[in-house]
Structure formats: C-alpha cells, structure tokens
Amino acid sequence: MKNVGILVLRGEKGLSLIEVMAVIVILGILVLSFMNISGYSLLSRSQSVQRVEARHVAEDQLSKARVYIRTQKALPPNPAVPGYTVTYQLSEMSNPGQYATASTAARHISLQAVVLIQAVPQILTVTVSWS
C-alpha cells in the first residue's frame, strides 16, 4: 500500500535552527508592520473626531456671538468651553486682522462671519483651539 496523501522526505528529520529563526523574523516584521498601521489609524481617527467636535463648538460659538453682537452691539467675552479655548476677534472689512496660530499649530479651527456693529460691517472670527 502506498501513502498517497503524505509526502515523506527521506533524509530530512525536521527544520534547522536557521530556518526556524528566519520564519520568526519574517513573522515578527509582519506583526510589527500591522501594529504600526493600526496605531496610526487609531491616532488618525481620534484626531478626526476631535476636529469634528471642535468644528461643532466653533459653529455653536459663532452663532452665539452673532446673536450677542446683534443685541449688545459689542464683542462678547471669550467663553469657557471645557476642553477647548475659544477666542473671538473683530476686524474691519478693509483690514482683516492677523492672529497668531503658531502656538496651536494644527490644533485649531477658525470660522468667520460678517456682522454689523453700528451699521459698519466687520469680520467676526471665532477660533477654537485644543491641546
């Protein structure tokens, strides 16, 4: 009788130490590369969620500031929003203001709207920063 399904190699008693070590190194490289990719994807997702939440805060604060300016005819004080720093800025239409963003790098979102203060159009900028 022949063993059709089993391949028997004569003279081979198993894998050598070098072959086993080569397999371990290759598997280790594959596992590390997948871990790096998954780590970057989790970090990217976390940053995306943070930006979406910051945008919602900015839109909400822009709306509140416009109502405040419409009723009070003045720039509202910067609000306290947990986890965020919100800054309001008014500038003239002919001379848009400058604001420093170097300290916040890419962790900020700015939205702008045109508002009327005593019949003079001005640019309202709301900047939301996070750490």
Q: Beta strand pairing status for 120-129 and 84-92?
A: antiparallel
53 three-state secondary structure: helix
pLDDT: which is higher, 96 or 1: 96
What DSSP assignment string belongs to 22-40?
A: HHHHHHHHHHHHHHHHHHH
Give residue 33's pLDDT.
79
Average pLDDT along the chain = 81
pLDDT: which is higher, 18 or 43: 18
- Whole-model pTM: value is 0.59
Give residue 104's pLDDT.
43
